[in-house]
Chains A and B, each alone.
Chain A
Amino acid sequence: MISLRLAGLLAVATVPALAQQIPVIERRLPNGFRLLMVERHEEPRIAGGWVVKVGSANEQLGTTGISHLFEHMMFKGTPTLGTKDAKRDLELIAEQEQVRGEMRREEAAMRVALREGKLDDVTKPENFTPRYRELEAEFKKLIDEQRQLLVKNEFDRVYTTAGASGMNAFTSEDMTGYFITVPSNKLELWCWMESERLLRPVFREFYAERDVVYEERRMRIESTPIGKFGEEFNAVFWDAHPYMWPVIGWPSDIPNITKRDADAFYALYYQPQNITLILVGDFQPDQAEAMALRYFGRIPAGTQPPPEVVTQEPNQPAEKRMYAEAETNPQVDILWKTVGYRHKDSYPLDVLQLLLSDRTGRLYKGLVLGSEVATDTYAMQDSRKWAGQFNIGGEAKEGKTPEDVEQGVYAELEKLKNELVPADELQKVKNQFAAFEYRKLTANFPIFMQVLQAEGLGDWREVNEANAKLQAVTADDVQRVARKYFTKEARAVAIYTRKPGTGAASDDPDLAGLAADQRPMVRQIVQSLTAEKDVTKLKEFLGQLEAQTGNADPKRQQLQKILQKKVAARIAELEKK
Chain B
Amino acid sequence: MNSRLLTTVLAGLAGLALGLTSLGADIVDRPEKLTFPPLKFEPPNPAQFRVPLKSGPVAYVVPDRTLPLVTISITVRVGSYLDPDGKEGLAEFTGYLLARGGTKSRTAEELEERLAFLAANLGSGIGDDAGSVSLNLLSKDLSEGLKILREVLTEPRFQQNKIDLFRQQNIQGMKQRNDDAKFIKAREQERLAYGDRFWACRQTTEKSVTAITEEDLRAFHQKWVHPAGFVVAVSGDFEREAMVAQLETLFSNWPFKGETPPAIPTDISISPPGVYFVKKDVNQGQVSILLPGVKRDNPDFLAIQVMNDILGGGGFTSRVMNRVRSDEGLAYGAGSAFPGGVYYPLAFQAGFASKSRSVKYATSIVLEEMNKIAMTPVTEEELQTAKRSFIDTFPENFNTKAKVAARFAGDEFTGRFAKDPTYWKTWRSRIEAVTRADVQRVAKEHLHPSKAVILMVGDEKDIELGDPKHPLTFKDLSGGPLVQVPLRDPLTMEPLPAESR
Q: Show the binding face of A for B, using Cβ within 8 Å.
A: 13, 15, 20, 29-31, 42-45, 75, 80-81, 125-126, 147, 152-153, 156-158, 160-165, 167, 181, 183-186, 188-189, 192-193, 205, 207-216, 218-219, 222-225, 286-287, 290-291, 293-295, 297-298, 300-301, 327-329, 358-360, 368-369, 375-376, 395, 397-398, 424, 427-428, 431-432, 434-436, 438-439, 441-444, 502-507, 516-517, 519-520, 523-524, 527
Contact = CB atoms under 8 A, between A and B. Distances in A.
Contacts of B7: 290-291, 294
B interface, size bucket: 35 or more
B24 A298 contact: yes
Given A208-B328, A360-B113, A524-B492, A163 B119 contact: no
Contact of B168 (A43, A158, A444, A516): A516
Given A152-B327, A163-B392, A215-B354, 14 more contacts: A42-B66, A45-B395, A156-B315, A163-B389, A184-B39, A212-B332, A215-B353, A293-B12, A327-B178, A327-B179, A442-B67, A442-B402, A444-B399, A516-B167
Nearest to B24: A298
| Centre residue among B4, B12, B175 by max chain A CB count within 10 A | B175
A431 B118 contact: yes
Given A30-B20, A153-B322, A431 B331 contact: no
A375 B4 CA distance: 60
Closest 4 CB pairs of A and B: A163-B392, A211-B329, A298-B24, A435-B119
29 contacts: A29-B15, A43-B398, A44-B395, A160-B388, A161-B388, A189-B31, A208-B326, A208-B327, A209-B329, A212-B332, A215-B353, A290-B9, A291-B8, A291-B11, A293-B15, A293-B23, A294-B7, A294-B23, A327-B180, A359-B100, A368-B165, A427-B117, A428-B116, A431-B119, A439-B136, A503-B175, A504-B174, A504-B178, A506-B491
A222 B326 CA distance: 22
Given A161-B388, A215-B332, A397 B118 contact: no
Nearest to B4: A287
A541 B136 CA distance: 59
A160 B381 CA distance: 12
B299 interface: no
Interface of B: 4, 7-9, 11-12, 14-15, 19-20, 23-24, 27-31, 34, 36-41, 66-69, 100, 109, 112-113, 116-119, 136, 138, 164-165, 167-169, 171-172, 174-176, 178-181, 205-207, 210, 282-284, 314-317, 321-322, 325-333, 353-355, 357, 384-385, 388-389, 391-393, 395-396, 398-400, 402, 467-469, 489-492, 494, 496, 500
A210 B330 CA distance: 10
Given A30-B15, A30-B20, A297-B20, A152 B206 contact: no
A147 B38 CA distance: 36
B39 A183 contact: yes
A192 B395 contact: no
Given A13-B117, A42-B399, A431-B117, A297 B172 contact: no
Nearest to B319: A152
B164 to A, nearest CB: 7
B399 A43 contact: yes
A327 B180 CA distance: 8
B344 to A, nearest CB: 30
A444 to B, nearest CB: 8
Nearest to A517: B210
B168 A375 contact: yes
A298 B26 CA distance: 11
